[in-house]
Structure 1
Amino acid sequence: MSDWHPQIVTISAVVQHPDANSLDIVKVLIDYPVVVKRGEYQAGDVACYIPIDTVVPDCDAFYFLCPLITEKYEENGETKIRQLGPKFALGSVPEKYRIIKAKKIRGVYSQGMLMPAPACMKEGDSVVEVLGLKKWEEIEEENIPGIKVSNSEPPPNGWTIPHYDVHAIRSFLECLKDGEEVVLTEKIHGSNAAFVHDGQRLWVKSRNLYKKMDPDDMWW
C-alpha cells in the first residue's frame, strides 16, 4: 500500500500562515498541510494535489522548480544576491530538481503542492496521466558510487516477499483518540531490509533487490 495518490481534492480548510503575510496554509485529505500564496484557494475549492515523492515532468508547468543561477554583488557597502535566470534550459532540468519534497516554509511544513483542477475532473480522480507524473523511487545501493553490491539472486518461487509501502499516520487521524496510549517505533531512512530462510539458507533483500550471496558484499 502507499500514500502516493496524485488526485483531485477538495480543500477542507484555509488558515493564514502564522509567520508570513503573503502565505496561507491549506488542508487537504483530512490533515495534509500545503503552503500556498495568500488568497489562492478557499475552503471548498477543488485542486490537483501532488504529494511528496512525486517526479513531475520537465515541462513549462513545472519549470518554476528549476534552480536559479545567482551571483553576489556589492551595493552601498552591502553584499547582496541577484538572480540571473534558470540554471537549466526547459527540457533539460535533471530529475533530482523535479522531485516534490516536504519543505519547511517559514516554520510550517508543506506536504506536497497544489495546482488548479481541470474543469472536466472531479474529486478523487487521478491526475497521474493527465499531468505526466511518476513516483520517485529511492536509489538502490548498486547505483551508489563506492558501494560494492553483487548481482541479484531471488529465492525459490513461493518464498519471495512482495514489495510493500506504508501509509503515513496522517491518513488515520480519525483512528486516534485523545488520551489513548500508543506504541511509537522509529523507521531509519535507508534501513529497509527483508530476510527469508527457506529451510536451507538465508536470502537477503533491500527495498527492491534480492542480493546474491557474496562474502565481500556489504549485505553478507
Structure 2
Amino acid sequence: MSTLRVTAEELTVHEHPNADALEVAQVGLYRAVVAKGVYRSGDYALYIPEQAVLPAALIEELGLTGRLAGSAADRVKAVRLRGELSQGLVCRPAVLAGVDLERAAKEGTDFAELLGITKWSPPVPTTMDGDVMAAPELLPWVDIENLQRYPDVFEAGEPVVLTEKLHGTCCLVTYLAEDGRVLVASKGFGAKGLALKEDERNVYWRAVRGHGVPEVAARLAARLGATRVGIFAEVYGRGVQDLAYGTDVRTAEAPPGYAVFDVSAEIDGQVRWLDPAQVLEEGELPLVPTLFEGPYELATVLERASGRESVSGRGLHLREGVVIRPAVERYSPVVGGRAIAKAVSPAYLTRKGGTEYE
C-alpha cells in the first residue's frame, strides 16, 4: 500500500460525459467525480485518497453517510459514478475555512491528523498470522506510491521495466550470512521490526520452505559477498486473496504461489536494491512476469496495467496492475526515495467481492 497523505491540490475540472449535474476534478492523474459548479480549474481543494478512513463527523459534513466502503461505511474506495471512475474525495472541510490552500499545496501540508483521517489496515487471516519475535536485522520493504498521485516520478523516454503487480500478500525474507538465520515476515509485521516464528501452518513459511528460498538466499549472499540478503515476493493463491492465478494455498499437495519482485543486499555496509532477473540464476526462484522493457510513456503504462493476468499463462482473471521502475536503480526527489511506482487497473479497483488482506 502507498503512504497516506491528505493534501491540498490544484484542480483541473472536466465535464462529466454522462451526467449534467456532475463534473470530474482531476488531481495529478487521479479523477474524482464532484457536484457541478462547486469547483473551477485552478481552484485548490483537499484531496482525500483511497484507503483513507474518515471520522463520523467529517463523513456527515460531506454528505457521505452510508455511502463509503467497509463494514463501518467509513473507508474511501474507488467507485464508478454514472460510468466515470472516481478515485478519492475532493472537498473543502469547514475546519479549513481560513486556511490558504494554495500555500498549503505548495508547502505539501498533510491535513490527515488535523481531520482525524487514518490509513485503512487490512484484516489479517489466521493463515497469515502467527507468533512473532523482534527482528532488528530484518531488511524492510518500502511502500510503493501510485503513479497517478506522483505522475512526475519518471520522465518521458526514460528506460523503464514494467512488471505485473500480483494480488497476493507480501513476503519478506532476510538471510543473515554470519550465522545462516532466516527471518520471515509479512509487510505489516516487517514494518514493525517483527518476524514470524516458523510454523508449518503459516502461509509465508510454507511458501519460503516450499520454494527453497533460504538455500537460494545463501547462494546469492555468497555470490554477492553480502552480509544480509533480502528477497521480497508475493505469496498468492486461493485462500490468500480473491485473485488466485490458478493456485490454491489450502491444499498441502503443492506450496503456495510465490513470485519474487525485488531483492536487496547489504554489501560493504551499504544496502542496495537489485534486479531479481539480473542477480538470480535462471530457475532459482519464480519471478513476477516482466510485461515491458523500453522507454517510459504514460500511455504504455496505463495500457499494460489493465487486461488479463499472465502469471498462470491462461489469463484466468483480470490483472491488478503494474509496477514501474527505472532500468537502472535511482533516487527520486519526487517521492523522496526509490524511483518506483505502481499503476492499478480500474477494473481491479471496482471489482465486486474483492479482498484486500495485508
Pairwise TM-score range, normalised by the shorter structure: 0.7 to 0.9
* Preserved contact between residue 128 and residue 204 of structure 2 (Cα < 8 Å): no
Q: Tell me which residue corresponds to 1:175.
A: 154
1:218 CA drift (Å): 2.4
Within the candidate set 118, 121, 140, 1:134 is matched to 118
Within the candidate set 40, 63, 77, 1:42 is matched to 40
Q: Tell me which residue corresponds to 1:5.
A: 5
The DSSP-based 3-state class of the residue aligned with 1:219 is: helix
Distance in 1 between residues matched to 2:163 and 2:144, nearest whole Å: 13
Distance in 1 between residues matched to 2:72 and 2:79, nearest whole Å: 15
Does the alignment pair 1:204 with 2:184? yes
The DSSP-based 3-state class of the residue aligned with 1:27 is: strand
Please give the TM-score of this superposition, normalised by the length of structure 1: 0.73
1:216 CA drift (Å): 2.8
Distance in 2 between residues matched to 1:41 and 1:95, nearest whole Å: 31
Deviations 1:91-145 (A, max 9, x none): xx97641110111223322110011152322233322123211111222234xxx
The DSSP-based 3-state class of the residue aligned with 2:173 is: strand
* Preserved contact between residue 13 and residue 39 of structure 2 (Cα < 8 Å): yes
Counterpart AA for 1:109: L
Distance in 1 between residues matched to 2:140 and 2:71, nearest whole Å: 27
Counterpart AA for 1:188: L
Unaligned runs of 5+ in 1: 69-92
Return closer, same or farther for 1:166/1:94 CA change in 2, 3 Å cut-off.
closer
Within the candidate set 180, 200, 218, 1:215 is matched to 200
Unaligned runs of 5+ in 2: 190-194, 206-358
Counterpart AA for 1:6: V
1:14 CA drift (Å): 0.8
The DSSP-based 3-state class of the residue aligned with 2:25 is: strand
1:153 CA drift (Å): 2.4
Structure 1 runs of 4+ aligned residues shifted over 6 Å read none
- Map 1:88-103 to 2 at 5 A: 96-103=72-79
* Preserved contact between residue 53 and residue 118 of structure 2 (Cα < 8 Å): yes
1:164 CA drift (Å): 2.3
Return closer, same or farther for 1:104/1:26 CA change in 2, 3 Å cut-off.
same
Distance in 2 between residues matched to 1:188 and 1:163, nearest whole Å: 16
Within the candidate set 57, 75, 85, 1:109 is matched to 85
Counterpart AA for 1:15: H
Deviations 1:179-214 (A, max 9, x none): 666422122233211111113232211111221112
The DSSP-based 3-state class of the residue aligned with 1:129 is: helix
* Preserved contact between residue 163 and residue 208 of structure 1 (Cα < 8 Å): no
Within the candidate set 158, 163, 166, 1:188 is matched to 166
The DSSP-based 3-state class of the residue aligned with 2:164 is: coil
* Preserved contact between residue 53 and residue 119 of structure 2 (Cα < 8 Å): yes
Distance in 1 between residues matched to 2:134 and 2:82, nearest whole Å: 47
Return closer, same or farther for 1:138/1:152 CA change in 2, 3 Å cut-off.
same
The DSSP-based 3-state class of the residue aligned with 2:169 is: coil
* Preserved contact between residue 150 and residue 211 of structure 1 (Cα < 8 Å): yes
Return closer, same or farther for 1:202/1:181 CA change in 2, 3 Å cut-off.
same
Counterpart AA for 2:81: I
Identity of aligned residues (%): 28
Distance in 2 between residues matched to 1:63 and 1:198, nearest whole Å: 53
* Preserved contact between residue 140 and residue 172 of structure 2 (Cα < 8 Å): no
The DSSP-based 3-state class of the residue aligned with 2:130 is: coil
Counterpart AA for 1:141: P
The DSSP-based 3-state class of the residue aligned with 2:114 is: helix
Counterpart AA for 2:21: S
Q: CA RMSD in A?
A: 2.7
Return closer, same or farther for 1:219/1:129 CA change in 2, 3 Å cut-off.
closer
